[in-house]
Each structure stands twice: as C-alpha cells, then as structure tokens.
Structure 1
Amino acid sequence: MALIFKEPHVIRATYRIVTPMFIGDAEQKASGISPASVKGALRFWWRALRWGQIRTEIQSDTAALQRLHKEEAGLFGTSADNGKAARFTLRVTSDAKSAAPPTPQPGIQYLLGQGLYHFNNGYLRPALAADAFLAIELFVNPKSDKQAQTDYDAQKTQLTQALLALGLLGGLGSRARKGFGSLSIESLTYGKDAVAIPKNLTELSNILSGWKCNAGLPPFTAFSSKTRIDAIL
C-alpha cells in the first residue's frame, strides 16, 4: 500500500546575527537576506557533514563524489538533465537593518580586505547590523512510496544538522569565513520536536565529535578525521 502524505514537514531554526553581515543584492546594497543565500550556505554545510558519512561506506573518492553529487541534486535540486526541483521550499524572516559598522581596529581592517574597507575611505559597502534576528523555515515535501519515505526521513535529519552547523560554526555573506556575518543558533525544531542546542563547551564538543568521521583528508572543505576545531572562551 502506498503511503499518502498531505502536509510537508517543517523544520524551523532561529538565529542571532552576532557580527556585521556584508550581504545584499547584485548592486551590493544591504537589502536583506535572500533565500538563495541561505540555501547556498546550507548546501555547504550539508556537503561538509555528508561527505564523511558517504566516504566511510565507499572506498573511492571518485565514487563517493558521484554519490554525493546525486544525493545533493535529489535534495537541493539541479539544473542538469532537464532540471529537478529541490525537495524543500525555504522561507527567511529577519529584522536586520542596514547600518554602518563601528570603525574597525587595524587587525579587523586586514580581515575585511579589498572590496569591503579602505584605510582612507572607510567601509566601501553597507552591512546588516549585528544583534538582529533571523528565522529559517524549511518545508520538506514528502513522497508517496515507501522507499521515498525512507530517503525523506534521512534528508530531514541531514537538513536539521546543516541548520545546526550553520548556527554553531557558520555565517552568511562576504568574509563569513573570517568571522563576519556570524550566526548563533537560538532554537531548532524538527516538526513538533525541539533539537537540543549546546549550552556549554562540553555539550558543543560532544556534538562536534559526532560530526567527525574516519574518512581521510577530503577533496573539499568537509568534516573528516583530520578536522580540528578550536574553541576560545
């Protein structure tokens, strides 16, 4: 008997923007946070988490990359082969406003680099101010057959973990890898269930340890046995 689902499953995450976020439209105006920007960040963290899980099952980087690409297309959609829609739709809500960040110290000026700051002219583009709210909702569309339901459950878990990783380690916008646009996750719900958010260094360490795997050095940025994460209090 086929399984019939009438409503999509909803995953919700709320964050606090903790550092100025240089993100905007094609004209580099800080006009808000687009779903496309969030989807791109979720792709990054999904790959980072999923790679090691696949690589420990497949003893070849090439074959593992092929499977990763196939799973990513099935979850996030693809424009290849006549196109395929993403398994979910995404909604973004934020009260972030454009504002001029405080004058940075010399070390921060270096991290901003070319394109964002000039030592004579100051900031070269606006940013969304820190201490703002961001909510992300994923409406995951189920399928009607049994195998698709098995995949669906796994994909929901993967998306939930990607949202968590974004709020523990990531950010959005230019120079996100240098600490700008950093996000701090405040809540995460998976349907009606709340996902635990680490409250201290021990709880954070336990989550991060679970993301490491036995895979060797990956061919792109991803969790592996070589991963090192330093926490500074």
Structure 2
Amino acid sequence: MKTITFTCETITPMFLSGADQRVPELRPPSIKGALRFWWRAMNGHLSLEELKQKESEIFGGTEPAQRSKVVITCPKDKNFLKPSTKDKFPEHRGNYPLSRNTPVNILNYLAYGVYDYRDRFTHAFFDERQRFDICLRFTNETKVDEVIKAFVVMCYVGGLGAKSRNGFGKIKIIKAVENKENNEIDITQSLPKWKNLLKTNNSKSNYTSLSDSVKLFSAKEVSSRSYDNALKIIGDAYIHARKNMGDGHTYNTRRYIAAPIVQDSNSFLERHSKSYFLFLDEENGGYRGYILFVPYKYVSGIGNENLKKGKSIPTDVLEKFDAATQKFNEKLQEKLNLERL
C-alpha cells in the first residue's frame, strides 16, 4: 500500500466547514469531493457512462463492491489550522455591479455568500499562510499518477471550500513524501506543474472538463506577498468583463456566463456555475493572479427537460452561448494577458 503525504499551505482564506458553518473544519469528504470534480474535469475525453464507471472504480460508488481505491485523511497531530479571528478583508474599494454606485470592497464582492451586505462574515474560515497535511492512501496503485495530477490541479486551480471559483481556498503544495513499505521518498520535485496539466486536445464535453477550448488569462504583473493585491487585480478584470454583459439586473446575456439566483421565471436556462476559475500562484517572491476559462456544452442538454415544462428553446441558443463567452473573454483580455497553453 502506498501513501503520499502532501504538506500544503493556504494562499487565500479558506471557507471550509461541516454542517455548522460557524466552525471551520479541514474535512476529508470535502477534499475528496473537490478531487473527484477535478479528476472528472481532466477526463473530458470519456463519455458520461465511461466517466461514471471509471470514477467509481477509483473513488468508490453506490454499490457495496465499489469501494474507494484512495483514502484521504488529515492527521490531527500534524494539522494546526486555527480559525480566523478577522472580522473583515483588507480594503480594496471600487464601484462594482450591484453596489448602486457606492464603493464596495472587491474582496467582499468576490466572497458574496460567505460575506454579506451588512459587512460581516456568515461563515467561519481559515486564514492564509497556514500549513496542514493531506494524506492519500492508495489500496490500488494503478491510478496513482492520474489522482496525483488531479490533486495538483485541485490545489492550485480549484481550491477548497466555498467561493473557490472566486479565488478563495487556494492552496499550494510545500512538500510531497511517498511512503511505501516504510521507505520515505521526497517526490516534491517530480510533481507535475499545474500549467502543463491544462494542455489537452480534447473537444468540449457536456460536463465541465479541460479541452482544446480552455483559455488561461494571467495578470500582467506580479503582486506583493499579500494575496489580496493579486486577487484584486483579477477581480477587477472579471468585474470589467461582467459589466459589459449588462447591468446588475439584466440577465439576457449574462445568464450564459452564469444563471443568477433571480431571473425570468420563463427562462429556459437552469441555474449553473460560471466556467471561470480565479486563482493565484506564487511567483518571484509574490503572487500572480489567473483566470481559467473552462467551457462545456451546458446548453446542449436543456432541450427535452425544458420542453416538458412548456418552455420554448431559442434555435440559436448554442450560438448565443458561444458569442457571450467570446465577448466576455475579449473583455478579460483588455485587462489580462492571454497565455498560450
């Protein structure tokens, strides 16, 4: 049996908890859920049926015989994460959507849902720059490499906890040690780089997955050692693009980026998450912000279900979906660099 222990460090505040959101908790089930998501994202070449089968073979399924081949633990004796005592984010104010021309903190905006309009946190969290261990124990070693790759992407691009698509819960790997038959081997330097894992020749799938349509945008400058400055840069770029999709209460175009909580009851689009992931990476003594665009054929499966509800489906829905994301990406590129993968 092989065990790999990753020593990680939080880059941005991490809103990770159990049923009681007032108590932050480093939870293996939450980590495993995020790992499964990114494993699926890295296997977009598979059909949905194949994906479910292979995922069950690695991470376990509903059948008794489908036991997980990878067990995740967080040793309590090596994890000293302390709940944050902060009552606000560092200040970075500007005029953003929904602010009604009143300057609001960009970090509050990105954390909306865990930080409310009354300027208070609704969820407890762990501060940045705290270290902890995550252990992956493999009962079957045939899939070790692909799980490690998914783990790397999860850490840097995905993150853990609430608001991870908006830049929170980002972590970096400090050290990785493999333990097999009581022999410890430092494998840190042999871990794949997250940028290399984004390259693929796959075409877009019906679920969130990496493909040849993925785009990576990066900040034009490296920020200071403070995470909030780097997050502000990409947050401002995201807001710049969002403003060009209509005002805060106009959903006709913006709904293709992400369907909001409140929208026209006759809309043929169900609520769905955006295809953009904001994150940071350490570089030259500071942090550089990134936005990863991961498109998928969300609208390809809406027809039958909506027809049952009596909702009409525009014949040009796919074209509108592509046009909206293309415009959004063009606006991002006005503020950020488009990298070649």
Task: Answer yes or no: same fold by TM over 0.5.
Answer: yes
For 1:119-134, list aligned pairs within 5 A.
119-134=117-132
Residue 72 of structure 2 corresponds to 90
The change in CA–CA distance for 1:210 and 1:45 in structure 2 (over 3 A counts) is closer
Instruction: Tell me if 1:32 matches 2:25.
Output: yes
What residue number does 2:4 align with?
A: 11
Q: Which moved more, 1:99-108 or 1:65-74?
A: 99-108
Unaligned stretches of 5+ residues in structure 1: 1-7, 55-63, 143-151
Question: Aligned pair in 2 of structure 1 residues 26, 17: CA closer, same or farther (>3 Å)?
Answer: same
Is 1:185 equivalent to 2:178 in the alignment?
A: no
Aligned to 1:158: 146
Equivalent in the alignment of 2:139: 141
Q: Deviations over 1:96-140 (max 9, x none)?
A: 1111336234111111113x2233351122211211112111111
What is the CA-CA distance between 1:194 and the residue it aligns to?
0.9
Q: Retained in 1: the 8 A contact 2:88–2:119? A: no
1:41 aligns with 34
* Counterpart position of 1:74: 57
Q: Distance in 2 between matches of 1:98 and 1:210?
A: 32
Q: CA deviation at 1:197?
A: 6.6
Gap change, CA 1:188 and 1:14, over 3 Å in 2: same
Amino acid at match of 1:91: T
Q: SS of 1:161's equivalent?
A: helix
- In the alignment, does 2:218 pair up with 1:231? yes
Percent identity of equivalent pairs: 23
Q: Distance in 2 between matches of 1:109 and 1:124?
A: 12
Tell me the CA shift for residue 51 of structure 1.
2.3
Instruction: Choose 1 or 2 for highest CA Rg.
Output: 2
Name the SS for the 1:45 alignment partner.
helix
Q: Distance in 2 between matches of 1:165 and 1:230?
A: 16
- CA distance in 1: counterparts of 2:58 and 2:154, whole angstroms: 17
Q: Which moved more, 1:211-220 or 1:156-165?
A: 211-220
TM-score, length of structure 2 as denominator length? 0.53
Q: 1:166-192 CA deviation, whole Å, 9 max, x = no partner?
A: 222121111011011111122234553
Task: Rate the CA distance shift 1:210–1:159 in 2: closer, same or farther, 3 A.
Answer: closer
CA contact (8 A) 1:20 1:101 kept: no
Shift of the 131–193 alpha-carbon distance from structure 1 to 2, 3 Å rule, reads closer
Gaps of 5+ in 2: 92-104, 180-184, 223-341
Q: Does 1 or 2 have the higher relative contact order (CA < 8 Å, sep 6+)?
A: 1
Equivalent residue, structure 1, for 2:86: 101
Q: Conserved in 2, the CA contact under 8 Å of 1:14 and 1:188? A: yes
Question: What's the counterpart of residue 48 of structure 2?
Answer: 65
